[in-house]
Amino acid sequence: MKMMNYSMARCVSAIAIGLLLMMWPEAAILYLVIAIGAMFFLPSLISLISYFKKEHEKRGYFPIVSLGSLLFGLWLMISPAFFVGILMYLLGAVLVFAGISQIVGLLDARSYANVSTGFMVMPVLILLSGLLVLVNPFAAASVPFIILGVSSTVYGVTELINFYKFRRKAPKAEEEIQDIVPIEEIPNEVKS
């Protein structure tokens, strides 16, 4: 009975998470940044609290790194949209420069080798994807979460189908008791 409950809970959870990620991917991005902020904030807070709990003579140097991590985590939790925007603009700029660099490299390679136009397809796509990210950074940031949501939903549905289709009511396995021959009855030539 417990196995059925765990399987059902896993299926329902996967489907629910998948649907939430597909319906609100922008919120998922923000909550991910908030979670990262909490991962900076909480250990730093514990470190600072333990510093101030020590006796004055045993404290040592003030944990500046902990204070910086605490403030950075707090900033991430307070304004996650700011960081998502910065990250996506940086990613877009990197993609634009990478696409331009590849195009320039291929044009330069034409001077000493035969480069077909088919080789230009990927650098142009990279350049265009970088421009797309720069124009609409939040839509580009939500795409991975939509893919994750679709994958999670498909996993949950297939797991649910497999659960109902292939579940077996197998009888409990009983240990088979074997007749054991006492050591005194084993012939001497087998013992050695």
For residue 88, tell me if it sits in a domain: yes
180-189 mean pLDDT: 68
Q: Model confidence over 92-147: pLDDT tens digits?
A: 888 888 889 888 888 888 888 887 888 888 889 888 888 888 888 777 777 877 87
For residue 55, tell me if it sits in a domain: yes
* Tokens 């136009």, residue located: 117
Cβ-Cβ contacts under 8 Å for 159 (sequence gap 6 or more)? 7, 10, 11, 14
For residue 56, tell me if it sits in a domain: yes
For residue 185, tell me if it sits in a domain: no
For residue 90, tell me if it sits in a domain: yes
Cβ-Cβ contacts under 8 Å for 23 (sequence gap 6 or more)? 149
Q: Model confidence over 37-75: pLDDT tens digits?
A: 999 999 999 988 988 888 777 777 888 888 999 999 999
For residue 109, tell me if it sits in a domain: yes
Angle between helices 25-53 and 137-166 (to 10 degrees): 100
For residue 182, tell me if it sits in a domain: no
For residue 190, tell me if it sits in a domain: no
CA atoms of 22 and 17, how far apart (whole Å): 9
CA-wise closest residue to 120 among 108, 134, 106: 106
Q: How many domains does the chain have?
A: 1
Domain span holding position 132? 2-168
Structure tokens at 3: 């196995």
